[in-house]
């Protein structure tokens, strides 16, 4: 079994639970942050999935944009689309809000959105997008990680193999 993982930037080390906005944050403010980052996430994937690459790329933060050019982004996404086939569905499964996690390039509020997707030629795709909230309240992508298990890499994979692969790449449901 072979898994394909695409990382567009170094993973932010956002694992420190103390950095997450805890229950002491007002629930209304937290819901508003979550809703705004989910709106940004949906807009990014809608643009990318429909071939509006320039629009999707404009959502990159400056650090990510300095690591990945728009041409590289277009080329990578174009290759993925041909290898993965048509998208069938995408679902956001979790949102975690952080305030300046360890390793973050700048002080900001960050949001990690875990997602899962179904494509024509994949057993599964899952990953996360990390967003940094800008001073004006908008979100910019700081990191994007996607892991896919293509049919071509393991024709006829069993349900157990697919579950194992999802576990290896830590897909969230």
Identify the pLDDT of residue 69. Answer: 96
Identify the pLDDT of residue 51. Answer: 93
A 10 A CB-CB count for 53 gives: 18
Query: 119 forms bridges with which residues in the sheet?
Result: 87
Identify the pLDDT of residue 66. Answer: 94
Identify the pLDDT of residue 25. Answer: 55
Question: How open is the CA angle 39-94-165, to the nearest 5 degrees?
Answer: 120
Identify the pLDDT of residue 15. Answer: 31
Identify the pLDDT of residue 26. Answer: 62
Identify the pLDDT of residue 88. Answer: 96
Residue ranges in the chain whose pLDDT is less than 50: 1-24
Left if phi > 0, otherwise alpha if psi is -120 to 50, otherwise beta: which for 101? beta
Residues 6+ apart with CB under 8 A from 30: 21, 97
What does the pLDDT look like over 87-96, one tens digit per residue?
999 999 999 9
- Cα–Cα dist 128/173, whole Å: 12
Identify the pLDDT of residue 5. Answer: 46
User: Is the distance from CB of 110 to CB of 101 less than 8 angstroms?
Assistant: yes
Identify the pLDDT of residue 82. Answer: 92
Identify the pLDDT of residue 100. Answer: 73
Identify the pLDDT of residue 98. Answer: 87
The DSSP string of 128-165 is EEEEEE-TTS-EEEEEEEEEEEEGGGSTT--HHHHHHH
What does the pLDDT look like over 52-61, one tens digit per residue?
999 999 999 9
Q: What are the tokens at 16?
A: 């420190």
Domains of the chain: 4-10+20-168 (3.10.450.100)
- Cα–Cα dist 159/164, whole Å: 9
What does the pLDDT look like over 2-23, one tens digit per residue?
444 443 332 223 333 334 444 4
């Amino acid at each position: 079994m072979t898994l394909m993982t695409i990382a567009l930037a170094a993973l932010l080390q956002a694992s420190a639970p103390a950095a997450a906005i805890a229950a002491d944050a007002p629930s209304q403010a937290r819901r508003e942050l979550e809703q705004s980052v989910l709106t940004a996430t949906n807009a990014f994937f809608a643009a990318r999935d429909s071939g509006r690459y320039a629009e999707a790329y404009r959502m990159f933060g400056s650090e990510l944009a300095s690591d990945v050019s728009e041409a590289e982004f277009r080329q990578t996404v174009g290759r993925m689309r041909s290898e993965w086939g048509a998208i069938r569905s995408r679902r956001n499964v979790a949102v975690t809000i952080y305030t300046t996690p360890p390793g973050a390039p700048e002080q900001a509020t960050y949001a990690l959105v875990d997602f899962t997707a179904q494509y024509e030629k994949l057993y599964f795709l899952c990953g996360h997008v990390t967003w940094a909230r800008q001073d004006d309240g908008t979100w910019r992508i700081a990191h994007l990680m996607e892991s896919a298990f293509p049919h071509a890499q393991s024709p006829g994979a069993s349900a157990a193999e697919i579950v194992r692969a999802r576990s290896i790449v830590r897909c969230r449901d």
